[in-house]
Amino acid sequence: MKTTKLVMLVMTIAVGLFILIPNLSWAADDGASLYKAKCAACHGADAAGKPAAKIPSLVSDDAKKASDADLAKDITEKPKHPATIKSLTPDQAKMIVTYVRSLQK
């Protein structure tokens, strides 16, 4: 009887963790970490871009004038972006835009 209860308890905890852990790992994603992982290699840590390589600045006046929706669309639909960036979810793209806006100030 005690063994059955113990097994049920372990199974309940395992199922709870199985459901909870993916949500926690996604919650750990924020705009700064996503930017550093997906964007900084090309656009730079300061988002200044690389004009010689024709990689645009994300802190330029043009970028500042663009709407958040346009920036998010550019992140996920820009033809020259790698597939790993195009595969970001809309929420992740919005988090990156929010981070880039903080760099623009």
- Condensed to tens digits (0 to 9), the pLDDT of residues 7-46 reads 888 888 887 767 666 555 454 468 999 999 999 999 999 9
pLDDT at residue 40, as a whole number: 92
Return d(Cα 12, Cα 8) in angstroms, integer: 6
Superfamily of domain 30-104, CATH level 4: Cytochrome c-like domain (1.10.760.10)
- Cα–Cα distances in Å, from 11 out to 4, 8, 89, 93? 10, 5, 32, 36
Task: For the chain, give every domain's residue range.
Answer: 30-104
